[in-house]
Amino acid sequence: MTTLQHIGVLTSGGDAPGMNAAVRAVARSAIYHNIKVTGISEGYTGLLEGKLTLLNSRSVSNIVNQGGTFLKSARCMEFYKPEGRAKAAEQLRESGIEALVVIGGDGSFTGATLLAREQHIPVVGIPGTIDNDIYGTDFTIGFDTAINTVQEAVDKIRDTATSHNRLFIIEVMGRDAGYIALYAGIGAGSEEILIPEKSRDIDYLLHSLNRSDRAGKTSSIVIVAEGDKSGGVFELAKTVEEKLPGYSTRVTVLGHLQRGGRPTCADRVLASRLGVAAVDTLRDGTSGVMVGLRDNRITLTGLEKACKETPDMDPELIRVADIVSI
C-alpha cells in the first residue's frame, strides 16, 4: 500500500451516461481511504487551465442518476503535444495532486499513457464511452444506457414502419465499432444489421430484403452502424428505392440523443465498481493501467494495450442476429 494523499479525477472525450456515477465512486472511495480528491473540469483542457475543485462526499451527491458529466468533458488538442503534457504535469504537481484517474475512451487513454510515461504521473483509466470499443473490458460505462435508448427509439419507429408498410434505415453511433448497432439491433428485432466488423454489401442487403418480402414481412428495420463501409444510410436508401421500387423507404439518423439520458442500473453499478477499483489500484501503487470488467471480475489492462488493441466482435452475436431476424 502506498501513502497516497491526493488524487485528481477528470472525464474526457465524448460524455457517456454513468460517468457521474464513476466520478462519485472515485471521490467517495478516495475520501473513504482518507485521500484528498480534486475534480478537474473539462478534461485535459481544464487541467491545463487549472480548473480544479477539491471534492467532498457531498460534492458528488445526487449525481448517480444523472446523464452527462457534471465535471464536463472536452477533446483537447494541446494535450496531444509533449509541451501540453508537461504543462499538465506541472499543474498537477503545483496543486499537490500525486495521481490521476482518467474516465474516457481510447483517445483519452492515449493522452493518459503519454502523461504517465513522459511525466511519471501515476495514472489509472476507467473506460467510459457509449461505443463499447475498448479492449480489456466486456462493457464500457454508458454502453448499456445507449443501447437501451436506441432500442426504445427503434421500438417507436417500428410502430410507424408497421402502420405504413415501410422500410426504415436507421443510423446509430459507435464511431468505428458496431457494438451499439449489433446489441440494439438484436434487442429491437431489426431485420438487418450492418456493422464495420462484418462487411456486407448492398447486394447482400437487397437479397435480405427480398427474402423478408417473400417471408411475408410488410415492414422492415435496418440498423446501420455509423462506421459501416457500405456507403451510408442515405446512399443505401437511394439504392434500395431504385432496385426495389416496391419498398417505401425512410431514413433516421439517431445522433446525439444516444449519448444522453439517465444511466441504467447496469451502468451505475459498473461505474461504481470501476471507480472503487481505480482508487484501489492507485493505492496498491499500480499505474499505467485501465480497470475493466471481464466475466464479471475486475481486471487490469495496460493502458497502451487498451488503446491499441481492438476488442473482438463475438461471432455468436452476429449468428444470433441472423437467425432471429428471418
Q: What's the CA gap between 45 and 10, in Å, rounded?
A: 10
Residue from 124, 126, 130, 224 binding ligand F6P (CB under 6 A): 130
Residues 6+ apart with CB under 8 A from 39: 8, 9, 10, 23, 27, 52, 53, 54, 55, 59, 71
Query: Among the options 15, 131, 144, 228, which is catalytic?
Result: 131
| Single-letter amino acid, residue 64 | V
Q: Closest distance between ligand F6P and the C-beta of residue 83, in Å?
A: 24
Binding positions for ligand F6P, 41-100, rule CB under 6 A: none
Q: Find the part of the chain contacting ligand F6P (CB under 6 A) among 148-156, 167-175, 185-193, 263-271.
A: 167-175
Neighbours of 136 (CB within 10 A): 24
Q: In this structure, is the dihedral angle defined by the CA atoms of residues 293, 296, 299 and 302, taken in order, positive or negative?
A: negative
3-state class of 157 per DSSP?
helix
Residue 295 a catalytic site member:
no
CA dihedral of 253, 260, 18, 35, whole degrees rounded to 10: 130
Q: Should residue 105 be labelled a site residue for ligand F6P when binding is judged by CB under 6 A? A: yes
Q: Should residue 150 be labelled a site residue for ligand F6P when binding is judged by CB under 6 A? A: no
Q: Closest distance between ligand F6P and the C-beta of residue 19, in Å?
A: 12
In order of 125, 137, 297, 305, the CA distances from 288 in angstroms are 8, 16, 19, 10
- Nearer to ligand F6P by Cβ, of 52 and 71: the residue is 71
Q: Closest distance between ligand F6P and the C-beta of residue 107, in Å?
A: 8
Q: What's the CA gap between 96 and 178, in Å, rounded?
A: 41
- Nearer to ligand F6P by Cβ, of 14 and 84: the residue is 14
Q: Should residue 225 be labelled a site residue for ligand F6P when binding is judged by CB under 6 A? A: no
Q: Find the part of the chain contacting ligand F6P (CB under 6 A) among 4-12, 49-57, 126-134, 299-307.
A: 126-134
| Single-letter amino acid, residue 106 | D
User: Kind and range of the H or E element at 273?
Assistant: helix 265-283
Q: Should residue 131 be labelled a site residue for ligand F6P when binding is judged by CB under 6 A? A: yes
Q: Should residue 173 be labelled a site residue for ligand F6P when binding is judged by CB under 6 A? A: yes
* 106: its cell numbers: 481510447
Q: Give how many residues touch ligand F6P by CB under 6 A.
A: 10
Residue from 39, 122, 174, 275 binding ligand F6P (CB under 6 A): 174
Q: Should residue 106 be labelled a site residue for ligand F6P when binding is judged by CB under 6 A? A: no
Residue from 8, 12, 14, 289 binding ligand F6P (CB under 6 A): 14
Q: What's the CA gap between 56 and 112, in Å, rounded?
A: 25
Neighbours of 285 (CB within 10 A): 12
Q: What's the CA gap between 134 and 158, in Å, rounded?
A: 31
Q: Closest distance between ligand F6P and the C-beta of residue 152, in Å?
A: 17
Q: Closest distance between ligand F6P and the C-beta of residue 305, in Å?
A: 19
Q: Find the part of the chain contacting ligand F6P (CB under 6 A) among 4-12, 35-43, 125-133, 262-270.
A: 125-133
Residues 6+ apart with CB under 8 A from 93: none
Q: Should residue 175 be labelled a site residue for ligand F6P when binding is judged by CB under 6 A? A: yes
Q: Find the part of the chain contacting ligand F6P (CB under 6 A) among 2-10, 169-177, 272-280, 304-312.
A: 169-177
Q: Should residue 116 be labelled a site residue for ligand F6P when binding is judged by CB under 6 A? A: no
* Residues within the interface to ligand F6P (CB under 6 A): 14, 105, 129-131, 173-175, 226, 259
Q: Which residues are catalytic?
A: 131
